[in-house]
Structure 1
Amino acid sequence: MKAAGAVWLLQEVGLRLILRAILVIALVLIVILTSVWASLALWYRLPVADIPRGVIAGLFAVLGLFTVVMLFGRWRLKAMIVYAVTFALVCVWWSTIQPDRNADWAPDVARQVTGTVDGDVLTLTDLRDFEWRSNTDFTERWENRSFDLSRIEGVDLFMSYWAGPEMAHFILSFGFQGGEQLAWSVEVRRRKGGAFSPIADLFKTNPLVIIAADERDVVGVRSNVRGEDVQIYRLRASPQAARRLLLEYVADANALARKPEFYNSLTTNCTTTVVKMMRAVGGTIPLDWRLIVNGYLPDYAYDHDAVDTSIPLAQLRQSAHIAERAKADGLSEDFSKAIRVGVPAPAKRTAP
């Protein structure tokens, strides 16, 4: 009996030690992750000069490291309380940061498009139609333009690769009978002189902006001016589904005009925002790593029969590159027609 009791006691002690170890490891991971986030948040967003901002961010990182060390000693509870209170104060400060409504924005993202719908007529205010000669030399044009929704035919996907094959900018363009195209781009609203930073834009650095534009502008500036690898994929969406998605773009643009939101490189970017809208209009978008590493969206679309699957994906990709056709056209009035020459178009869905 004594032997059995001793075994039970050893098992009980062993179980407690294991549970305590698991708890300590979990707390260590939580402290490390939250201290890294808080330190970066303080560095990127604390409204003070660089040196004091760096000191404060560094002090929080030191607090996190100190707390991790204390978790293995007898003062773990007190250390966690101090850390939790300090982190809570950072979170309270973080919740007070709101996007700017008015700032010295870069010209190409200076205005947020808005739209109204009257029956089948969509009227957009502040549609962008810039004439680009270089990244710094352009003619600004913001227009009011109307579209007949009953004439919508479908939607095409543009992928603009700016940093290798893993990441790309995502543009959807809605086609109408007669060849008119209306492109939509979800972008970072940069200030003059500012630049896109995937890390900084995780920390409430820049607002989100939705741009409606002529393809010669929003696509042409990437293919002909910036030299990005732009590819086009004709989607299988029915006119009804394309119309619903277009109206969801308009609704999101109007909502942004009323209440600005921050761009976030992971959670609120050009791809995730469109995925949210497609789900809102009834589209089926299964979760997939390629929705984050969005350079592989064409592969994802191919796997889900959203593009022409009658030819191999490699052949579809080859025909999707528009650089040669775009540069030969030179941003003429026929730009949208020229870049689609030889691009396979799948049969449209008859169901929604």
Structure 2
Amino acid sequence: MHILITGGAGFIGSHLVDLHLACGDQVHVVDDLSTGVRANLAAHEDDPSFRFDQADVLTWDRLERVVGWADRIYHLAAVVGVYRVIAEPTKVLATNIAGCERLLRAANAGGWKPQVVLASSSEVYGHNDEDILREDQDLVVSTKAGTRWGYSVSKIADEALGLSFAQRFGIPAVIARFFNTIGPRQVGRYGMVVPRFVAQAVRDEPITVFGGGAQTRSFCDVRDTVVALDALATHAGRDTVTANVGNDREISIAELAQLVIERAGSRSQLKHVPLREAYGEDFEDIRRRRPSLDRLRQMTGFNHCYTLEQTIDDLVATERQRLQGEKDGHCTLVRTQSERAA
């Protein structure tokens, strides 16, 4: 199978590359490297079944040709992360909506109708008061989210585009609403909570909990996410489907911080930081975010392989290696400077 992944050098995209190359597929990645990194794909650079282009889907002149080659397209190219969403609100709308539309138009122009898997988000449910979020519930856009609402709008628009192109032009669309995907290769610089907590705990620094900490989330290991995504697309076939993709175990942010401290054997203490101080603006955080996975399980029979504890343990081990590498590099630099001085 020919697999095109936009945003394939990113966190989730690079794990999809791993999965499909391991299955014997041919994989073509397009990424502008604004947040993704080429190092995520280093293991595949010499694989004849892998190809990479550094390009922006908004302007790339070869998009139609590559889309016409693909059997399945994962569209992950987007502006993500709370920090970037707040800092670049106009870019969120331009990239996330216009990029999706251009991709779908390319798919229609090619004649061959590839399956398009669109990465949506639990953010489309907005400030929903339901304890469990189901695909048939109303989507909510709320100004309570401050400028973050632009991200929700962009993902709702992408879903609408996918459904419209499916109905009007027969392009099969799989709309996957991700719920807090975590795991290897995720970085905390754009506001992702788990890698930030892990980095702080490994260094015995204060764990900065934004807001009250009572808000709950449901975290899914990326290695489970990509398996679920492939299974969903495979079982959907030429049908158009919208489904939650994640883990339905719920945990508060304060409990998550304590769990990270425990798994890391850390001496860190919790430090509560107001949202305005953390993000530069006030907004009302979403109270709960727990998915119903009934549709995913009924369609695919999917079961998770990774617990939250296992994921945290893996991230702690990786962060300790990174920290040790920083220390070793510093020692080497100090020795070199001493030798030069001598």
TM-score tier by shorter-chain length is under 0.3
Highest Rg: 1 or 2? Answer: 1
Tell me the TM-score normalised to structure 1 length.
Answer: 0.22
Tell me the TM-score normalised to structure 2 length.
Answer: 0.22
